[in-house]
């Protein structure tokens, strides 16, 4: 079929009638499908069930003699630091292992900046107008943190190479109130893009007006490849050090989508001065994180090879879901000039753009037909997609047949709304 | 022996010589004993080893059908809320179950007050002079939180009935900058005192100038009795509601010293308006807490009876340690007019007062002899014990024989320093 906009009015009417018929058919099916969240499927979680009982009454003591059941160790078991330093591409002195949520660690880092200032200066962010750069479309929970703390958000486009660096450099050069940028550098939520080496280099070395500008580098999908190995990502901490801006970056990671989303372990990696600054707060905040759960992970995964092997098994479950989506989107929407979508090599999402001013209508129509999608606008600060066109597709949780049906409904809705 | 101060100079010299001999003896022994922290002993922790594997590949789904391994449920599994609402004396709607640390929950609540204000008004505490009342001697980590956020601390005495309420009422009546009070209401750290019903009633109903005054009620030792059952503690939330001050109190608890200190579960209980306010922040802070660990606890303990039964088994391990300490302190220091100490019916500490200006010297001398005690001053804000007399004794972690030796050394040091 040619581009929809090249059709005559008659032809358009014919297509619309056909789509209306299919929509009526979906309605009759009484569907109930949920594609809203980037949750692992139960089959993925089952691969990790051995983790549940990997620490028992005989092996709760760490290699260096720490009783993981008792108090102590503020920044993580040595064994866990060793393994996840490798995971994050740093040395063990540059990592803190925390609780079950990297989002929590990011939020707490924000709170520390708000109330106490940074490792570079003691001026709290609280009480003055502050702004943050957000690559869009992006991760809604990052934006929620900025909203919570009353930090104004500025959009820049997410490109296949990462945030639009021309725009970023222009913004940060003159405005001292722009205190940081959010970035998911690998298989970004929702586009699936990975930052290029050049983007990493520019982020590390760009001149910045704000003396304690911070890059929140949320490497949430570090090993979440769909093929045989992860995308290469240049090491931003190394690049920042090289550029003389070692404190500029805070890198976050977690096993939320490696082991268990509610019961994984989270981490932050940074230059030693930032680690010391984070530990100052941690000392006041807690006696220490859950060390038993760290030990569970170390015993279950053993080493980086163990993690990568595990992720390959996950990829075997996930790749068919992504493939099914690509096939359906191509078959239904390909060449029609009304939608474009990303085809990530990893991560948890696909980003779909409809024609302008259609995303809300598409999501609403799909909902009517029993297919719940992430609300339109969710991938933008303040839930405002300026072109109302972006839809985040989360293919991991539904079963394959449900997913196929949901994708078909979505694709039909996109066509129908585009023609209306 | 009579009171030391009733002795003649000659007699004093004789006692001093004898003590010096014993001190020389301790020195020769090359002791290495640590009485610094209120940590459970490994034997206590062993009672809980069944918890490590209580959730396995067959029972990770909660009673209400939640896959505890996956995302979701912001404020705690229903089963955990049910059990620990009983534990805290509230209804399930008045509790949030969090991560592994109640200290962390208290800190985060402070951060929320600092950055966003309270459930009563939106004025952040940050940016203006704020003061907090601290019952002394008290828990060092509470004071660290105030210091971290730059909140000035005001001492009031901890009495056998709780904080000196005459002093508290006088302070809060006129000073709008006094925003709250710390209190460990049951088996208080380090005195072991439990607040009387009258104290609870006065805290709930006292007139307060600050419109969002908050009582941080850290019920850390709710079921940590040494005998057959816990001390009765009147319910502060109920009393606050009755007095028309429902939002005044935030009650914290944890299983840190019920199950595992690093891997227990923590909770906050409060009136519904405060719970909603806390959940607002939680929504921005995390996708949710570790639900598997909640399920482990519910499966292992089953119900309140299970918890109380478990605590009786702990008491059987702890009571002999406390008894040994009381015996040695009585034998060495009783009737000499140089020291007084508390004899708690529960909790983790004993509070010892030396003559004024002696505590630092006693701790230093004991350290010289190989017995590490909690630093003098630690039980006061800013580490400043105005009379330099309070020493916190933590009898739970050392083995019984080590504990006896450490207590003897401590008692000899107190006598020797008092006579010097």
How do residues A174-221 score in pLDDT, each as one tens digit? 999 999 999 999 999 999 999 999 999 999 999 999 999 999 999 999
Cβ(A172)–Cβ(A122) below 8 Å: no
Residue B112 and residue B254 in one domain = yes
Q: Is pLDDT at B167 greater than 90 in this prediction?
A: yes
Query: For residue A16, is it within any domain?
Result: yes
Which of A50, A52, A111 faces B115 most closely, judged by CB atoms?
Answer: A111
Residue A241 and residue A317 in one domain = no
Residue A122 and residue A266 in one domain = yes
Find where tokens 């210091």 sit: B147
Chain B residue with the nearest C-alpha to that of A53: B53
Query: For residue B53, is it within any domain?
Result: no
The pLDDT of residue B242 is: 98
Taking contacts as CB-CB distances below 8 angstroms, the residues of chain A near B100 are: 99, 289-290
Cβ(A361)–Cβ(A399) below 8 Å: no
Residue B324 and residue B298 in one domain = no
Which of B55, B99, B103 faces A52 most closely, judged by CB atoms?
Answer: B55
Residue A315 and residue A297 in one domain = no
Query: For residue A49, is it within any domain?
Result: no
Written as six digits, the tokens of A82 are 């060793």
Structural domain span for residue B89: 58-302
Domains identified in chain A, total number: 2
Chain B segment 82-141 residues within 8 A of A by beta carbon are 99-101, 103-104, 107-108, 111, 114-116, 124, 126-127, 141
Alpha-carbon separation of residue B146 from A74, B122, B167 (angstroms): 19, 20, 20
Residue A225 and residue A268 in one domain = yes
Among B302, B318, B335, residue at a domain's last position: B302
CATH number at residue A361: 3.90.1150.10
Among B259, B277, B302, residue at a domain's last position: B302
Residue B144 and residue B9 in one domain = no
Interface test with B, best of A66, A114, A218, A287 (most B CBs within 10 A): A287
Q: Is pLDDT at B2 greater than 80 in this prediction?
A: no
B148 touches A: beta carbon within 8 Å: yes
Query: For residue A9, is it within any domain?
Result: yes
The pLDDT of residue A3 is: 85
Q: Minimal Cα–Cα distance from B56 to chain A, Å?
A: 6
Q: Is pLDDT at B228 greater than 90 in this prediction?
A: no
Written as six digits, the tokens of B253 are 């608890």
pLDDT tens across B46-93, in order?
A: 999 999 999 999 999 999 999 999 999 999 999 999 999 999 999 999
pLDDT tens across A16-40, in order?
A: 999 999 999 999 999 999 998 889 9
Residue B163 and residue B215 in one domain = yes
Written as six digits, the tokens of B407 are 């207590």
- Mean confidence (pLDDT) of chain B: 96
The pLDDT of residue B78 is: 98
Query: For residue A405, is it within any domain?
Result: yes
Which of B99, B63, B64 has its CA nearest to residue A263? B99
Find where tokens 């500490």 sit: B349
pLDDT tens across A360-389, in order?
A: 999 999 999 999 999 999 999 999 999 999
Q: Is the peptide bond before A268 cis (omega within 30 degrees of 0)?
A: no
Which of A109, A343, A87 has its CA nearest to residue A233? A87
The pLDDT of residue A420 is: 86
H-helix or E-strand spanning residue B296 = helix B291-301
The complex scores an ipTM of: 0.96
Among B279, B302, B325, residue at a domain's last position: B302
Query: For residue A52, is it within any domain?
Result: no
DSSP state of A64: T
Query: For residue B340, is it within any domain?
Result: yes
**Cα gap B279→A282, rounded to integer Å:** 22
Residue B180 and residue B252 in one domain = yes
The pLDDT of residue B229 is: 81
Residue B230 and residue B335 in one domain = no
Residue B33 and residue B103 in one domain = no
Q: How confident is the model at residue A253 (pLDDT cuts 50, 70, 90)?
A: very high
Q: Is pLDDT at B1 greater than 60 in this prediction?
A: no
> How does strand B152-159 pair with strand B162-163?
antiparallel
Share of chain A above pLDDT 70, in %: 100
The pLDDT of residue A100 is: 95
Q: How confident is the model at residue B36 (pLDDT cuts 50, 70, 90)?
A: confident
CATH number at residue B145: 3.40.640.10
Residue B164 and residue B288 in one domain = yes
Q: How confident is the model at residue B3 (pLDDT cuts 50, 70, 90)?
A: confident
Query: For residue A53, is it within any domain?
Result: no
Cα A395–chain centre separation: 14
The pLDDT of residue B96 is: 98
Q: How confident is the model at residue A228 (pLDDT cuts 50, 70, 90)?
A: confident
The pLDDT of residue B343 is: 95
């Amino acid at each position: 079929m040619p581009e929809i906009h090249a059709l005559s009015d008659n032809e358009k009417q014919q297509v619309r009638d056909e789509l209306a018929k299919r929509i009526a058919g979906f309605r009759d099916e009484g569907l109930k499908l949920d594609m809203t969240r980037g949750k692992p499927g139960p089959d993925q979680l089952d691969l990790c069930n051995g983790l549940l009982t990997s620490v028992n009454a005989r092996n709760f003591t760490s290699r260096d003699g720490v009783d993981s059941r008792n108090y102590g160790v503020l920044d993580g078991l040595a064994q866990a630091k060793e393994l996840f330093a490798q995971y994050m591409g740093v040395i063990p002195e540059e990592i803190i292992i925390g609780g079950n949520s990297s989002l929590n660690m990011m939020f707490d880092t924000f709170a520390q900046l708000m109330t106490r200032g940074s490792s570079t200066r003691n001026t709290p962010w609280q009480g003055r107008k502050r702004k943050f750069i957000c690559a869009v479309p992006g991760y809604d929970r990052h934006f929620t943190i900025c909203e919570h703390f009353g930090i104004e958000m500025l959009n820049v486009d997410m490109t296949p190479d990462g945030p639009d660096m021309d725009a970023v450099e222009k913004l940060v050069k003159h405005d001292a109130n722009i205190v940081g940028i959010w970035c998911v550098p690998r298989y970004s939520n929702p586009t699936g893009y990975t930052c290029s080496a050049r983007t990493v280099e520019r982020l590390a070395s760009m001149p910045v007006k704000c003396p304690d500008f911070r890059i929140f580098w949320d490497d949430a999908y570090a090993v979440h490849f769909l093929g045989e190995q992860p995308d290469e990502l240049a090491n931003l901490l190394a690049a920042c050090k090289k550029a003389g801006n070692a404190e500029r970056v805070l890198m976050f990671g977690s096993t939320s989508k490696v082991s268990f989303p509610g019961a994984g372990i989270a981490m932050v990696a940074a230059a030693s001065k930032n680690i010391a600054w984070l530990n100052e707060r941690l000392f006041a905040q807690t006696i220490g994180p859950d060390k038993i759960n760290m030990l569970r992970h170390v015993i279950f995964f053993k080493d980086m090879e163990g993690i990568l092997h595990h992720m390959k098994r996950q990829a075997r479950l996930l790749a068919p879901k992504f493939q099914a989506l690509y096939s359906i989107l191509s078959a239904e929407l390909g060449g029609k000039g009304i939608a474009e979508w990303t085809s990530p090599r990893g991560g948890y999402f696909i980003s779909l753009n409809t024609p302008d001013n259609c995303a809300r209508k598409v999501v609403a129509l799909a909902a009517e037909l029993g297919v719940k999608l992430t609300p339109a606008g969710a991938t933008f600060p303040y839930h405002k997609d300026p072109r109302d066109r972006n839809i985040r597709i989360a293919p991991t949780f539904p079963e394959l047949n449900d997913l196929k049906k949901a994708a078909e409904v979505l694709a039909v809705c996109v066509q129908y709304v585009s023609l209306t």
